[in-house]
Homo-oligomer: A and B are copies of this chain.
């Protein structure tokens, strides 16, 4: 029994420190000759079966691995800041103002075909979601903005988006330059 524990301790250390999975052969090189390695592997497998790491058979041998149900603990979140293309921003804006809207309608408004990834990207960002299907031939899917979209941009609901008239008033929608940079040269120069 004490002998068993000794072998198990040895194998634990070997498995732990090994830089790759170990075959029975690898183990036998390091352990006393007169033991049945397979038996000890089974013992360790059982000993660790309810632990946070398990001894599992992987390509080429045996290795301690994180219990599959705990793999979430090994996930780290990494935040990457990305820029959206102009096409994507414009598409998002069109979806926001015209929702629910089909892909064909977006294309019609923009006057150009929508590249495959654009809507996917907006959906991946959780800003655009599916909003059912249009009752029209082919029943195309319709897109709209999500609650995350409202959250992200600090809006209570889609109705909070400034209307076309308001945009005009801020100068953003006007084809003229904004008022405050419009100096009337002729008249000031006298």
A residues at B contact (CB < 8 Å): 5, 8-19, 30, 50-53, 64, 66-67, 70, 73-74, 76-77
Instruction: Determine the distance from Cα of A67 to Cα of B6 in the docked complex, in whole angstroms.
Output: 12
| B residues near A11, Cβ cutoff 8 Å | 52
Instruction: Determine the distance from Cα of A18 to Cα of B53 in the docked complex, in whole angstroms.
Output: 12
| B residues near A52, Cβ cutoff 8 Å | 8-16
| B residues near A14, Cβ cutoff 8 Å | 52, 73-74
| B residues near A18, Cβ cutoff 8 Å | 77
Instruction: Determine the distance from Cα of A2 to Cα of B20 in the docked complex, in whole angstroms.
Output: 32
Q: Is the interface of A mostly helix, strand, loop or mixed?
A: helix
A9 engages B70 (CB within 8 Å)? yes
Copies in the complex: 2
A13-B50 contact in complex given A18-B77, A19-B77, A77-B18, C-beta closer than 8 Å: no
A17 engages B67 (CB within 8 Å)? no
Task: Report the minimum CB–CB distance from A31 to chain B (whole Å).
Answer: 8
Given A13-B66, A15-B52, 12 additional A-B pairs, CB 8 A: A8-B51, A8-B52, A9-B51, A9-B67, A9-B70, A13-B52, A13-B53, A13-B67, A13-B70, A14-B74, A16-B52, A17-B77
A5 engages B50 (CB within 8 Å)? yes
A73 engages B16 (CB within 8 Å)? no
Report which of B5, B10, B16, B74 forms a contact with A64, defined as CB distance below 8 A: B16
| B residues near A67, Cβ cutoff 8 Å | 9, 13
| B residues near A17, Cβ cutoff 8 Å | 66, 73-74, 77
